[in-house]
Amino acid sequence: MDWRSRFQLPEGWSTLFLLTGMLLCVTWAISSARWIGGLSIIQWVTVGAIVSGLLLAKSIFPGAIAHTFSAVYGLAWITFLVGTLFSPHLSWREKMLEQILRVSLWGQQIISGRQSNDPLIFILFMSGLLWVISYVAVWCTFRTQRTWWATLPAGLTLLVNLYYSPPELSGYLVGYLFCALLLIVRTYLYTQERGWRERRVHYDPSIHFDFLRYGLLISVLLLVTAWWIPSAPASEQLALIISRFDESWNRVQTGWTRLFSSLEYQGRGTTASFGKRMTLGGPVNLRDEPIFEGQTPGRYWLAVVFDEYTGQGWINNDQDVAYLKPYDSFPPIATFELRREVTQTVRMLVSGSNVLFGAPQPIRVSIPAKMYLTLAPPPVQMPEGPSRVAYPSMLYSRLPLKQGDTYHVVSSLSVADEQSLRRAGEEYPAWIRERYLQLPPDLPDRVRALAEETVAGRDNAYDKASAIEAYLRTIPYNELIEAPSEGQDGVDYFLFGVREGYCDYYASAMAIMARAVGIPARVANGYTRGEYDSDRRAFLVRERNAHAWVEVYFPRYGWVEFEPTPSEPVIVRPQPKTVNSETPVPDDLNRLGRIEEDSRLLGGTEGELPLPPYAPPRRSGRWMENVRRWGGIVGIIGVALV
């Protein structure tokens, strides 16, 4: 046997090159997304898996034994590569023990229901995932010739990565589709050649060059067409059906966040980062990228409110979901005194999010929506029958939101004055006490002691909350603080450790201190109002306007906002005599007392603004999005044609 026969692949070396290119496109896309430092090693994980898979696929070992060897090789190779990320002063034994220890600690945290912010765990997970995907792809290509199993897992991984990554990474999808299409052509030809040889059918051995040439031309044609094809109009009914599965996907996202809370979302996460969990982490670096523009008399754009504090962050536990039609008033929303309905208009400046923003306590929206809520007693009579009162916590569009889409939200803003809030009392409903006085059992005692010391001498909930707010506003603001150490309580770290922080920490500290003295409170996430553009008669909201604040519950008046972050102006409440007056309160810092003036400023009328008729959101795709949407579809059609 000469050296050429020894190194000859029956499937062809072009098959191996195409498979390697396809897998490296997926690997490089994940590495380039900059989820976390240290992911540069995963390209060597993929290369190792390809070499191991090829040798085992061509060996005489049966599948079970070969897969066992692959698992052992992968574990050893990944342990070695991850060890290169540690200090060179550590021995290899110490590096291996450190990995085992950190995986063990991560497992204990997950079992106990806590979040993990150890970046090493994600590196290990992604290395293991790429090893499995790459090995399976090589095995299915060179042992079983099941090309779909070789291409689909890698493709799905790439699509999920691109969905949460910066738009400029879409070129990796083009590379993947190009290699995958040619790989399918080449594998199909190999299976045909093998069948011809078995049936002793005469054919020209050079035929595979013709197949690859025409496969190359077809692949290029398909990809160029996908690049320039115009966006197809979205099917509203199909989108509404798909939205029914959002809950399952949200549960997956929530679990993912708990497992890997140290990830940095670089791309579409400008608005998608408002999920059902918030982690008290390290430095933040928010960009000036415009997110949306809106017309509102409110101070905040609310995205989500949280009820449970874990020690490392917050969770929204609402499981009840209502699917709303445009301007739907069912289920009934809780109503309170000294509130006023206002309408806001939002026009999206980016694509990729379905979070709906509005002033606190949204009650109606102009497009089909999904509302997460708490259904609380007592039931009220509705035309559809008795129904419990709803307390909304999140609003999602049931249709994909694109750049240029416009919607309207009606909210119930509080205009309660200080005297009314002082007289509100502390007779809270049982479900409010149970849900919004929750504290973790291991909350440090000094946090409770500080809260009691801060409110000493105050005899009502409003003055106590205001005292906590004023105290926290004396702590220096800093967006570049380090994250708390593993297992350390975030509020305790902020109040007694670093003694500086950003809005997430101020809001968390106020909510926990208020709860510690018996005042129901929660943390809200969203954006500040933004900067006013007089030419467009709207507020421009940028990514750097992302914010967290506090809402305190008062009997009869509901949830009322507080601002403990010193970088934002304090909330000045209207005077009692002006709450029901036709004359606006002339206070430049007070959004509560300037609702009428803001409405006139934005071109509306006093009180509730008129509601425009429902129209489906406008669609305005961008060419880069066409690559994402149509590249996969055309690729699948091309595969079917081949």
For 103-126, write each residue's pLDDT tens digit.
888 787 777 666 666 778 888 999
Q: Give the span between the Cα atoms of 513 and 453, in whole angstroms.
A: 10
- 595 pLDDT tier (thresholds 50, 70, 90): very low
In a domain, 393, yes or no: yes
Q: Give the span between the Cα atoms of 8 and 583, in whole angstroms.
A: 88
* Statement to judge: residues 404 and 553 lie in one domain: yes
- pLDDT tens digit string along 258-277? 555 555 544 443 444 688 88
In a domain, 453, yes or no: yes
* Statement to judge: residues 562 and 632 lie in one domain: no
Q: Give the span between the Cα atoms of 72 and 369, in whole angstroms.
A: 49
* Statement to judge: residues 64 and 175 lie in one domain: yes
* Helix 171-198 / helix 147-163 crossing angle, nearest 10 deg: 180
In a domain, 584, yes or no: yes
Collapsing DSSP to helix, strand or coil, 582 comes out as coil
- pLDDT tens digit string along 394-438? 998 887 788 899 999 999 999 999 999 999 999 999 999 999 999
In a domain, 367, yes or no: yes
Average per-residue pLDDT in the chain? 80
Q: Of residues 641 and 313, which shows the higher confidence score? A: 313
In a domain, 104, yes or no: yes
In a domain, 108, yes or no: yes
* Statement to judge: residues 27 and 132 lie in one domain: yes
* Statement to judge: residues 317 and 410 lie in one domain: yes
Please say if the pLDDT value at position 556 is more than 70. Answer: yes
Collapsing DSSP to helix, strand or coil, 599 comes out as helix
* Statement to judge: residues 201 and 274 lie in one domain: no
Q: Of residues 315 and 638, which shows the higher confidence score? A: 315
In a domain, 136, yes or no: yes
* Statement to judge: residues 577 and 630 lie in one domain: no
Q: Of residues 45 and 618, which shows the higher confidence score? A: 45
* Statement to judge: residues 471 and 568 lie in one domain: yes
Q: What is the pLDDT of residue 222?
A: 60
- pLDDT tens digit string along 431-470? 999 999 999 999 999 999 999 999 999 999 999 999 999 9
Q: Which of 265, 312, 281 is nearest to 114 (CA)?
A: 312
Q: What is the pLDDT of residue 146?
A: 85
Please say if the pLDDT value at position 498 is more than 90. Answer: yes
Q: Which residues contact 575 (CB under 8 A, 6 or more apart)?
A: 417, 585, 593
- pLDDT tens digit string along 40-56? 899 999 999 999 999 99
Q: Which of 148, 138, 141 is nearest to 11 (CA)?
A: 141
Q: What is the pLDDT of residue 131?
A: 96
* Statement to judge: residues 345 and 434 lie in one domain: yes
Chain mean position to CA 612: 31
Report CA torsion sign: 368, 370, 373, 375.
Answer: positive
Q: Which of 22, 11, 84 is nearest to 49 (CA)?
A: 22
Least confident of 85-99, 231-245, 284-298, 339-353: 231-245
In a domain, 617, yes or no: no
- Domain total of the chain: 2
Torsion of CA 558, 475, 481, 504, to 10 degrees: 0
Please say if the pLDDT value at position 96 is more than 50. Answer: yes
**What's the token pair of residue 469?**
């707010």
Q: What is the pLDDT of residue 243?
A: 52
* Statement to judge: residues 404 and 440 lie in one domain: yes
Q: Give the span between the Cα atoms of 195 and 261, in whole angstroms.
A: 51
Q: What is the pLDDT of residue 170?
A: 77
Please say if the pLDDT value at position 72 is more than 50. Answer: yes
Q: Which domain holds residue 131?
A: 11-231+625-641
* Statement to judge: residues 169 and 276 lie in one domain: no
Q: What is the pLDDT of residue 264?
A: 52
* Statement to judge: residues 578 and 632 lie in one domain: no
